């Protein structure tokens, strides 16, 4: 069953996800050569607790940290470590929180200092694929339209989509139905209705899409060692179009649906 959130529930989810967005924005500014992901994790945990929220990943199936910090060929679920980041790395920072009973979940991939142009392309295309996926979050669309939009854009740019991990419904639990693959044919699966909230999270590789999990039992890395990028937003389907809950702006930057009525122009 796909839950549909009421307007007050969406406001609670907006608060939880707004917190995630503001912490990620702070972490993005801290990323630099010499900084470790364990240091980022400490900052994140302190900010989450100070906001009266609880880290969502810590303790989830035994996961040990507030952040997932996945460097270079790590795709997702990297465990924060004391190893300093170095110039040219990329790091995916993924964080979830619970605030007033509702979950927030979002991720960004950040370059460490200067990175090669092809790496910048990987980050840009992955981020663009998330935006294209978000545009599919419309009443009457199908769940599989989301992954189709990701796959089309990623493969058109010569990158590959990871199959082993998926996006998910989110609400009063971190992972709800449905699962949201980042590939597939359009027009399949459940029909989207207002109040549905999904965490959409394309995971994209520069080489082959296959991944494996390291001996730490969490970190998923590309089998071929190629770089991977990951961006995630929590997004609500509303009658006025997609509403990204996990972004900072006070305004709700709903992706525009059809063209709007122009504001009435006063005579004279």
Q: Which residues bind ligand MF3 (CB under 6 A)?
A: 57, 60, 63, 68, 77, 94, 105, 107, 168, 199, 201, 232
Distance between CA 162 and CA 57 in Å, rounded?
21
How do 67-71 and 241-244 pair as beta strands?
unpaired
What are the residues whose beta carbons fall under 8 Å from the beta carbon of 210, sequence distance 6 or more?
222, 223, 224
Burial of 53 (0-12, 13-18, 19+ CB in 10 A): buried
Work out how close the CB of 251 gets to Co ion at its nearest, in angstroms, rounded to a whole number: 24
- Exposure of 101 by Cβ count < 10 A (0-12 exposed, 13-18 middle, 19+ buried)? exposed
Nearer to ligand MF3, 55 or 87 (CB): 55
With CB under 5 to 8 Å by kind, the binding choice for 145 among ligand MF3, Co ion, none is: none
CB 68 within 8 A of CB 76: yes
- The least distance separating ligand MF3 from the CB of residue 63, rounded to whole angstroms, comes to 3
The residue with its CB nearest to Co ion is: 199
**From ligand MF3, Co ion, none, which one binds at residue 207 (CB under 5 to 8 Å depending on kind)?**
none
Which residue reads 């935006």 in tokens?
131
- Given the complex with ligand MF3, which of 34 and 231 has the nearer CB atom? 231
Closer residue to ligand MF3, CB minimum distance, 45 or 201: 201
Task: Give yes or no for residue 199 binding Co ion (CB under 5 A).
Answer: yes
Binding site for Co ion (CB under 5 A): 105, 199
């Amino acid at each position: 069953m796909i839950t549909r959130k009421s307007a007050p529930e969406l406001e609670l989810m907006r608060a939880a996800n707004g917190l995630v967005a503001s912490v990620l924005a702070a972490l993005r500014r801290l990323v630099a050569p010499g900084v470790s992901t364990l240091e980022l994790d400490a900052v994140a945990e302190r900010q989450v607790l100070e906001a009266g929220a609880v880290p969502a990943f810590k303790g989830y199936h035994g996961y040990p940290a507030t952040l997932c910090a996945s460097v270079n060929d790590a795709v997702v679920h990297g465990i924060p470590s004391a190893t300093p980041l170095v110039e040219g790395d990329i790091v995916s920072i993924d964080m979830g929180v619970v605030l007033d009973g509702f979950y927030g979940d979002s991720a960004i991939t950040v370059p460490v200092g200067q990175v090669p142009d092809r790496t910048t392309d990987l980050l840009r295309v992955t981020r663009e694929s998330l935006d294209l996926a978000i545009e599919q979050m419309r009443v009457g669309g199908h769940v599989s339209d989301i992954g189709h939009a990701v796959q089309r854009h990623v493969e058109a740019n010569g990158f590959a989509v990871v199959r082993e991990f998926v996006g998910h419904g989110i609400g009063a639990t971190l992972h709800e139905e449905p699962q949201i693959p980042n590939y597939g044919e359009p027009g399949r699966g459940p029909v989207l209705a207002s109040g549905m909230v999904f965490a959409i999270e394309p995971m994209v590789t520069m080489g082959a899409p296959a991944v494996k999990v390291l001996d730490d039992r969490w970190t998923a890395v590309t089998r071929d060692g190629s770089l991977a990028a990951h961006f995630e937003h929590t997004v609500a389907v509303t009658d006025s179009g997609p509403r990204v809950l996990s972004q900072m702006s006070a305004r709700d930057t709903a992706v525009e649906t059809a063209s709007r009525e122009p504001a009435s122009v006063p005579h004279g």
